[in-house]
Structure 1
Amino acid sequence: MLYCGFLKSNLETQIFVIPIILAPVVSDIFTQDYRSGCMKFFLLYKNRKEVFAAKAAALVFITESMLLLVFAVLTTIYLCRNGGQVYGWKAELLKEAALFTAALVPVLLIYAMICILFKNSGIICILVFLLVIMSDFIPRVLGDVTPRRFLWEWVLNNRYHSSDIVLFLAYSIFFAFMDIRLFVRKEILC
């Protein structure tokens, strides 16, 4: 099996696993500062939009680091199984990591909105888990308009349609705007 096929077959399970793993990370990034009282300290030196931008940058960095770790483990497994012979794996690895990260942006923004709205980590984890599980059933009824569509179409099938890009941009812009607006209006004492 070629490296590309091996990577694609393993990414099918990662599309379900990685968003679930990211849920507590996103929850902790947005709720820990409120619980510990550090948010007041941050807002003395920065405005809320800068704090949100720093948290969003941290989310992208953590996501990319986790994806690179997953791809490194998958590459190591592939090398062990095939006697160390890999052709063209660097370009494919970087392309898949970039596509996976880009496709996760709307999912991360939805997670961030849930975390901004609720301060209880248990509720956040339940809502995020239901979001991931229910997104599997929504396409059958309404058509595939969930953010998970980008993960399937872009990462696994290498299909990029103009409607996908428009929907991706609409999700990203809408949820980024909503997240910033909710974060700016959220009370410091939660």
Structure 2
Amino acid sequence: MDKEKKAADRIKEQSVTYEMYAAMPDDGHRYEIFDGKLEMMSPGATASHQTISGTLFFMLMQSCKSDYLIFHPPFDVILSKTNVLQPDMMMIHRSRLHLVTERGIEGAPDMVVEIISPGSRKKDRGVKMETYAKFGVQEYWVIDSDTRTLEQFQLVEENYELIQLFDGDDRVISDKLPCVSFEVSEIFAEVMRGQ
């Protein structure tokens, strides 16, 4: 067993902090931390996942870049010492730039997006959703390429409520993110052309 594997195994046995995570040797995998538990992320994104992510990033940059910084992975969202996630996309208002450091976003972004893949469906709708809500991410989008939908959740007190399920040519808007305005079908257009 080599040194890197021993170090990774030792870290997995104890409550993991951001500092421990950041000091891990690069083993070619991506990890997240949930309440001190290190979890390997799903294998690399599929072509449709990347296409949807790229299209959404482009659209948000066109309409929101003057008010928000928009990031995509690998980029850490450090919600606490023992909760570090890498959403598929995140937006943070320019008035909150003090949360953006060289390490990542140190606090809750204004909005995060998870694009469901077969290996992430349960996690995106479970532990990730709970963690984002617990730390005050105001808006959470779940994009499902199978159903070609975008679920918009907003934080109400300490839990997310489904505000809208967008599909087809529904226009995606948000009272919390006024720069957002596009038809949900636009983010799936390239994927549909390739099928």
Tell me the TM-score normalised to structure 1 length: 0.26
- TM-score scaled to structure 2, two decimals? 0.25
Larger Rg: 1
Which of the pair has the greater relative contact order for Cα pairs under 8 Å at 6+ separation?
A: 1
Which structure has more helix as a fraction of its residues? 1
Q: Which has the higher strand share?
A: 2
